[in-house]
């Protein structure tokens, strides 16, 4: 086998407060996050939303030390994976390609070329597939491959999602058990899975397998846990005024409190590193909501980070995928129904009111109204929700 590389894909996060605005711009300029029918509106809209959201977002990041720990933790995961592969007799170079911040995916590909990697495993650090996460990174890679014919010489294979890996499921169950066992009565702890949400339109109109994979993942973890505790799945981190997957985490917490639940063990389920949505949103915002609603104990299961059982299972997965038939970006298909997950005519209508307004051929009016709203601080549009 030629020289082996593993490309870890992740979202990326601002490392300092000055990074927040350009990071948000990159995020909202991604058509997999907000899809507009006319490409030229994408950047102005990304500019508007990133500017108006930056302050709130900076406040959140300043509560967790002024930046995201994502790069540091992803680097630790890369080192641990490299060591685990080495110990298993499969030396490999590990690269990190972030979607919206440094080290960008483009930089990783430049290094992979420079190092003359011959066999490449493309491994997203999202256990479940979503169009908005792994899908966005795969689409970017596909574009880079089209633009640079010299990349053709790299034999690559893609792992679309891996939430059913036994080592991952077992590690999650272990971490949950550890938190439950800290409760006065472990059997009364309510296991509360909080997944990052996506707009409903992703799942219903675009066939995003995300919700199904999340639900299946929760079932597998509960089976591995093998206890009779009650559990709930809810979705967090909604952005903007459109409908996202339900129930929303804050509503579900309040409902459980009303039903008399006293002890919550919250499990972040869609991400394997600590990040702003565990450290700030769950640990601070949702904790406060829970306490106000009358929940007595609120414990959060730590993210896997470099959990050895998890890392060793990732190494195993890399080795298995090197032995398996290749999967190209173009044939990353929906696992169950074998439906392409990138339908040609995919739209995400309803993602922003601006897009809806455009849909009604009133884009300019909407756009101008938005400007007025931004400049004046308030206005007629319900876009306020996004800002
Ligand atoms: C599997 C995980 C994730 C999904 C699905 C996802 C979809 C998604 N996210 C946004 C908007 C934002 N996401 C932001 C940060 C962020 N998102 C994820 C993961 C998923 N996103 C992570 C891990 C992070 C944090 C990285 C870090 O800095 O620690 C942000 C910025 C933060 C903020 O201002 O709240 C936004 C905005 C959308 C619109 C979306 C689906 C369409
Ligand atoms: Fe996100
Ligand atoms: Fe988010």
In a domain, 357, yes or no: no
Ligand 1, residue 210: give the atom nearest the CA: 5
The response to whether 275 counts as a known ligand-binding position is no
Ligand 1, residue 279: give the atom nearest the CA: 29
pLDDT given for residue 240 in this prediction: 83
Q: Identify whether residues 286 and 321 lie together within a single domain.
A: no
ipTM over 0.85: yes
Residues of the domain holding 76? 4-163+307-331
In a domain, 198, yes or no: yes
Contacts from 152-156 at CB under 8 Å and sequence distance 24+? 153/118, 154/112, 154/113, 154/117, 154/118, 154/119, 154/120, 155/2, 155/118, 155/119, 155/120, 155/326, 156/119, 156/120, 156/121, 156/122, 156/326, 156/328
In a domain, 358, yes or no: no
Ligand 1, residue 270: give the atom nearest the CA: 1
Q: Identify whether residues 201 and 292 lie together within a single domain.
A: yes
Q: How far apart are CA 74 and CA 84, in angstroms?
A: 15
Q: Identify whether residues 101 and 47 lie together within a single domain.
A: yes
Number of domains in the chain: 2
Q: Identify whether residues 191 and 264 lie together within a single domain.
A: yes
Ligand 1, residue 277: give the atom nearest the CA: 25
Q: Which ligand places an atom closest to the C-alpha of 276? A: 1
Ligand 1, residue 33: give the atom nearest the CA: 42
Q: Identify whether residues 277 and 197 lie together within a single domain.
A: yes
Pocket probe mutation, ligand 1, options 25, 46, 276, 349, max atoms within 8 Å of Cβ: 276
Q: Identify whether residues 22 and 159 lie together within a single domain.
A: yes
Q: Identify whether residues 149 and 226 lie together within a single domain.
A: no
Query: pLDDT tens string for the chain (387 positions)?
Result: 899 999 999 999 999 999 999 999 999 999 999 878 788 999 999 999 999 999 999 999 999 999 999 999 999 999 999 999 999 999 999 999 999 999 999 999 999 999 999 999 999 999 999 999 999 999 999 999 999 999 999 999 999 999 999 999 999 999 999 999 999 999 999 999 999 999 999 999 889 999 999 999 999 999 999 999 999 999 999 988 889 999 999 999 999 999 999 999 999 999 999 999 999 999 999 999 999 999 999 999 999 999 999 999 999 999 999 999 999 998 784 433 323 333 323 334 334 445 444 444 445 556 666 665 665 554 444 444 444
Final residue belonging to a domain, choices 282, 300, 318: 300
Q: Identify whether residues 146 and 173 lie together within a single domain.
A: no
Contact in structure between 273 and 73 (CB atoms under 8 Å): yes
Residue 77 CA, distance from chain mean position: 16
pLDDT given for residue 133 in this prediction: 96
Q: Identify whether residues 138 and 174 lie together within a single domain.
A: no
Distance 3 CA to ligand 2 centre (A): 34
Ligand 1, residue 126: give the atom nearest the CA: 1
In a domain, 368, yes or no: no
Pocket probe mutation, ligand 1, options 8, 9, 10, 11, max atoms within 8 Å of Cβ: 11
In a domain, 97, yes or no: yes
In a domain, 103, yes or no: yes
In a domain, 257, yes or no: yes
Pocket probe mutation, ligand 1, options 277, 280, 283, max atoms within 8 Å of Cβ: 277
Q: Which ligand places an atom closest to the C-alpha of 53? A: 1
Distance 198 CA to ligand 1 centre (A): 9
Distance 320 CA to ligand 3 centre (A): 32
Distance 155 CA to ligand 2 centre (A): 30
Contact in structure between 235 and 184 (CB atoms under 8 Å): no
Q: Identify whether residues 51 and 124 lie together within a single domain.
A: yes
Q: Identify whether residues 157 and 181 lie together within a single domain.
A: no
The response to whether 196 counts as a known ligand-binding position is yes
Q: Identify whether residues 195 and 289 lie together within a single domain.
A: yes
Distance 277 CA to ligand 3 centre (A): 7
Q: How does 117-133 read in b/e, with b if 16+ C-beta sit within 10 Å?
A: bebbbbbbbbbbbbbbb
Q: How far apart are CA 309 and CA 269, in angstroms?
A: 17
Distance 119 CA to ligand 2 centre (A): 30
Ligand 1 pocket, Cβ-based, cut-off 6 angstroms = 11, 13, 27, 33, 53, 57, 68, 70, 126, 130, 132-133, 196, 198-199, 239, 270-271, 275-277
In a domain, 147, yes or no: yes
Q: Whose CA is nearest to atom 30 of ligand 1?
A: 24
Distance 31 CA to ligand 2 centre (A): 14
pLDDT given for residue 373 in this prediction: 61
Sign for the pseudo-dihedral over CA of 66, 305, 196, 46 = positive
CATH for 220: 3.40.50.1400
């Amino acid at each position: 086998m030629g020289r082996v590389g593993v490309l870890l894909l992740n979202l990326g996060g601002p490392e300092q407060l000055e990074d927040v605005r350009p990071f948000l711009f990159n995020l909202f300029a991604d058509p997999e996050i907000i899809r507009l029918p006319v490409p030229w509106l994408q950047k102005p809209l990304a500019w508007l939303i990133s500017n108006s959201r930056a302050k709130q977002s900076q406040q959140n990041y300043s509560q967790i030390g002024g930046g995201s720990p994502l790069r540091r933790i992803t680097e630790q995961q890369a080192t641990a994976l490299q060591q685990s592969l080495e110990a298993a007799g499969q030396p490999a170079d590990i690269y990190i390609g972030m979607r919206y911040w440094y080290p960008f995916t483009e930089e990783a590909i430049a290094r992979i070329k420079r190092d003359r990697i011959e066999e490449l495993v493309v491994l997203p650090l999202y256990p479940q597939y979503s169009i908005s996460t792994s899908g966005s990174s795969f689409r970017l890679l596909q574009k880079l491959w089209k633009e640079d014919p010299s990349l053709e010489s790299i034999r690559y294979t893609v792992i679309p999602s891996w939430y059913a890996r036994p080592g991952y499921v077992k590690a999650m169950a272990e971490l949950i058990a550890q938190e439950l066992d800290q409760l006065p009565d472990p059997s009364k702890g309510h296991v509360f899975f909080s997944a990052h949400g996506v707009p409903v339109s992703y799942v219903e109109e675009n066939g995003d397998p995300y919700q199904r994979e999340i639900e299946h993942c929760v079932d597998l973890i509960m089976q591995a846990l093998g206890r009779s505790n009650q559990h709930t799945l809810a979705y967090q981190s909604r952005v903007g005024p459109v409908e996202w997957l339900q129930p929303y985490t804050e509503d579900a917490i309040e409902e459980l409190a009303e039903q008399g639940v006293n002890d919550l063990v919250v499990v972040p389920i869609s991400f394997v590193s600590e990040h702003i949505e565990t450290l700030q949103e769950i640990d601070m915002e949702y904790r406060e909501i829970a306490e106000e609603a009358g929940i007595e104990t609120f414990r959060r299961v730590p993210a896997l980070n470099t959990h050895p059982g998890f890392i060793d299972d990732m190494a195993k997965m890399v080795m298995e995928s090197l032995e398996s038939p290749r999967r190209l970006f173009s044939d990353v298909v929906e696992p169950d129904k074998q439906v392409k997950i990138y339908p040609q005519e995919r739209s995400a209508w309803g993602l922003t009111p601006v897009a809806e307004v455009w849909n009604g051929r009133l884009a300019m009016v909407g756009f101008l109204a938005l400007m007025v709203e931004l400049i004046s601080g308030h206005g007629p549009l319900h876009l306020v929700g996004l800002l």
